[in-house]
Amino acid sequence: MENRHVTITINHETYSVEKDRSVLYICNDMGIEIPALCHNEALKPYGACRICMVEVKNGPQPDSLTASCTLMPENGMEILTETEKIKKYSGLLFEFLLARAPQSNCINELAAKYGVFKTRFTERKKTMIR
């Protein structure tokens, strides 16, 4: 019989978690907030929005940022959800999204929740390539 659980560390706390659930779902269930836009129960996660980034301290690429919606836990994995690297990266992404969709209530509310209220970028008008 195969063990369905692995031991991982999230924000310096050790947990036994199901290995067939993404880190985003695991964190949400534990009350650890990770922002996400493409997260929807009806869709298969594919990491397109990149807002749900976490820092993986030990893994195939140590100290890398990875989309938590596609990250499956592995035994011994150490994950951080609120580092300066993540805050800087997600802040920049929120600025890009605010420039791209300034009228979106969803993006404005989510960006504000994480401390981003304006963008230094300007919205580009769509042009056709000829």
**pLDDT tens figures, 64-81:** 999 999 999 999 999 999
Set out the domains of the chain in order of their start, with CATH numbers. 5-82 (3.10.20.740), 83-124 (no CATH)
* CA dihedral over 25, 26, 29, 33, signed as positive or negative: negative
Give per-residue burial for 49-84: e unless 16+ CB within 10 Å, then b: bbbbbbbbeeeeeeeebbbbbebebeeebbbbbebe
Indicate whether 43 pLDDT > 60: no
Separation between Cα atoms, residue 57 and residue 76, nearest integer Å:
10
pTM as predicted: 0.82
pLDDT at 124: 62
In total, the chain counts a number of residues equal to: 130
